Amino acid sequence: MLVFIARRLFVSVWVFLASSVVVFFLATNVKDPLAEARQLPDTSRDSAIAVITERMHLDDPLIVRYFRWLGGVFSGDLGVNRQGQDVNSMLESAFSATIQLITGATVLAVVVGITIGVISALRQYTALDQTVTFVAFICFSLPLFWVGTLLKQFLAIDFNDWLTDPEISPLFIGAISLLAGLFCGSLVVGDRRSRITAFASAATAMAVLLAALSATEWFADPGLGPIVVGLTAVAAAVGFTALVSGVAWKPPLQAALIAAALGIVASLALDPVLDDPDLITLLGLAALTAAICFGLGWYLGGDLYRRSAIPAAVLTGLFGGAVIFTDRMLQSFDDYSESVGGRPVSTIGAKTPNYEGTFWETGLDSFGHLALPTLALVLISLATYTRYTRASMLEVMNQDFVRTGRAKGLSERAVVTRHVLRNGLIPITTLVAYDIGTIVGGAVVTEQVFGWSAMGRLLFTGIEQGDPMPIMAFFLVSGGAIVVFNMIADITYAFLDPRIRLS
């Protein structure tokens, strides 16, 4: 494996260098950087041309300019753009904005897309599978700029207006309850009576919940409360245990339930600390939670169930911490909404200019600006991951070793999670690595629609002005990301399928 990694790294470096030569040549010929200076009055034209020529080294041969840029890459100095601005600072600002924009969207698209694809494959040709297929093709065919415009209108402008009097209409309650009932009914495996029971229970529960939220005006001043937090933590303990080992195994379930209980108690005990914390404190609490849950799973799992108890406890603890984090942030929603004039969901920019507030209020400000572009990216990417996962899962489920596993008496959960999903994720790994590598380069259309100044804007500005330095800075990050994440994908192959040996 080490030999393979070294060889791939050596080849990737040469590919990257060859690509940089091509991109630099194209970047220097995309537009005349002196075009605007030549249109200035006679009194200032020559001086402006001289300044730009000296700043961009236009008198030097192209090969000299390339090696000057390459030397700056190794020294950490990417030079200046046509206006004399430091490209390092421009890249740092653009890259940080891109990371904020794509991190949540990529994680959500991958996790939700793979989950829906797995469920769709396990319920092949059912109403759920056909509905998922229909929605996936619709999302895949929608142009991103149109999706962004719709989101700005209905989930920002109209939603902000609705928050002034958050009353849910009976028609909306009925429609959402019907969809919830149909979804839960389609998940049930059994006879018609079981599916009808699941449909009626889910529809009734959703209708009651929405009616209660409307009557209490929960959306104007939201919050989960200790009861909902506790029930969610317990449900997460059962769910993660069922996913990892099955609820019939008592030690993993005990470890997960104790982790959930400790999280609830800790949230009450740490109430003063969580009033206005900082990011370092929260990261420290998350690390402490993972360590305690790891020890809990190690002790309660024993030699026999330790490999199942540890992930069940750790996942439950971290998920419970995320629920507590969400509850704390929602409790500050009313104050934040009032401070921004009742417009909590923003349609443009990465943050409210000159906004100051508590940790939770600034977090809500970032989330309000991230919500729409993140959702737009998720809707477009979700269809790809869903369809690829479904196709890959169905291909693996029809192979001989899966039938052999069932014939040996393995549970359906073990067959799906240990064999089908693990082998089905191999082609998805390639797709995820490629998408992450390319999306680091910036979502140009999304940035334009929502007014973000990130990597896409950096590239667009460089092309528009005929300035190769911002273009090469963009290439340095995006090209490097593609090389790195494709390397990670190759290493992941061997982990997912031990039959793969790369020498």
Residue pLDDT, tens place only, 280-313: 999 999 999 999 999 999 998 887 888 888 999 9
Answer whether residue 259 is part of any domain.
yes
Q: What is the pLDDT of residue 248?
A: 63
pLDDT band at 498 (very low <50, low <70, confident <90, very high): low
Q: What is the percent of the chain with per-residue pLDDT over 70, rounded to a whole number?
A: 95
Q: What is the C-alpha to C-alpha distance for residues 13 and 1, in angstroms, rounded to an integer?
A: 18
Answer whether residue 307 is part of any domain.
yes
Question: Residue 346: is its pLDDT beyond 70?
Answer: yes
Q: What is the C-alpha to C-alpha distance for residues 301 and 424, in angstroms, rounded to an integer?
A: 29
Q: What is the pLDDT of residue 119?
A: 86
Q: Answer for the pair 74, 474: CB distance below 8 angstroms, yes or no.
A: no
- Mutual angle of helices 455-465 and 468-496, in 10-degree steps: 140
pLDDT band at 441 (very low <50, low <70, confident <90, very high): low
Domain boundary, last residue among 36, 63, 88? 88
Q: Tell me which residue of 63, 45, 47 sits closest to 55, measured CA to CA.
A: 47
Q: What is the DSSP string of 88-153?
A: HHHHHHHHHHHHHHHHHHHHHHHHHHHHHHHHHHHTTTSHHHHHHHHHHHHHHHS-HHHHHHHHHI
Answer whether residue 314 is part of any domain.
yes
Cβ neighbours of 67 (radius 10 Å): 13
Answer whether residue 49 is part of any domain.
yes
Answer whether residue 251 is part of any domain.
yes
Q: What is the C-alpha to C-alpha distance for residues 362 and 367, in angstroms, rounded to an integer?
A: 9
pLDDT band at 177 (very low <50, low <70, confident <90, very high): very high
254: domain range? Answer: 224-341
Q: Answer for the pair 258, 297: CB distance below 8 angstroms, yes or no.
A: no
Mean pLDDT for the stretch of residues 125-143: 83
Sign of CA dihedral 45, 49, 50, 51: positive
Tell me the average pLDDT of the chain.
85
Q: What is the C-alpha to C-alpha distance for residues 141 and 145, in angstroms, rounded to an integer?
A: 12
Report the domain count for the chain: 2
Q: What is the percent of the chain with per-residue pLDDT over 90, rounded to a whole number?
A: 16
Q: Tell me which residue of 444, 455, 462, 408 sits closest to 56, measured CA to CA.
A: 462
Q: pTM of the entire structure? A: 0.81
Domain boundary, last residue among 60, 88, 116? 88
Domain boundary, last residue among 67, 88, 109? 88
Answer whether residue 473 is part of any domain.
no
Cβ neighbours of 251 (radius 10 Å): 21
Answer whether residue 130 is part of any domain.
no
Question: Residue 56: is its pLDDT beyond 60?
Answer: yes
Question: Residue 198: is its pLDDT beyond 90?
Answer: no
Amino acid (one-letter) located at 217: E
pLDDT band at 497 (very low <50, low <70, confident <90, very high): low
Q: What is the pLDDT of residue 129?
A: 84
Q: What is the C-alpha to C-alpha distance for residues 392 and 181, in angstroms, rounded to an integer?
A: 28
